[in-house]
Amino acid sequence: MTPAHLRRMGYLLAVFLGALLFACSSSEPPDDAVHVVHTKGEVGPIMARYLDRAIDKAEDTSARLVVIELDTPGGLSTSMEEIVKRILEADVPIAVYVTPPGGKAASAGTLIAMAAHIAAMAPNTRIGAASAVNADGSDIEGALGRKIENDAVALIRALAEERGR
């Protein structure tokens, strides 16, 4: 092979690889894909918007499933309720996977997991401690505390019945 022939083959190979990379670089998942959404940290307005957009995108692309990887100590009840409502209204099945090992779905995270069609946990993770507290972590006293607790119990019961748990 001559040097010119080798150069020509090199150019053709480069063009082919470039075209292949371009074709594979689509940022849109294919229809019927499984979308995996990573969440870590406190449940709040940012997480609620992020999950709403992720579920919207999954619905728009006819995804087969959305997997929410969840690791949270809990957070705002208002944001948790938005997320729970969005999961319940979703046109695509939602799975919540508590991960990584050592992670948790505590407090508001427990209710988010309960709302999902599928709830699963990685080894050495935990779920629970779903009681409302003040922003400083102190107990909510008196009638207000009882009302909030009863509301949370009613929501957990309704979600368990909805999902056959």
Q: Tell me the catalytic residues.
A: 107, 147
Q: 43, 75 in Cβ contact below 8 A?
A: yes
Q: How many residues are given for the chain?
A: 165
Give how far the C-alpha of residue 19 lies from the chain's centroid of Cα atoms, to the nearest Å. Answer: 33
Q: Left if phi > 0, otherwise alpha if psi is -120 to 50, otherwise beta: which for 142?
A: left
Separation of alpha carbons 34 and 32, rounded Å: 7
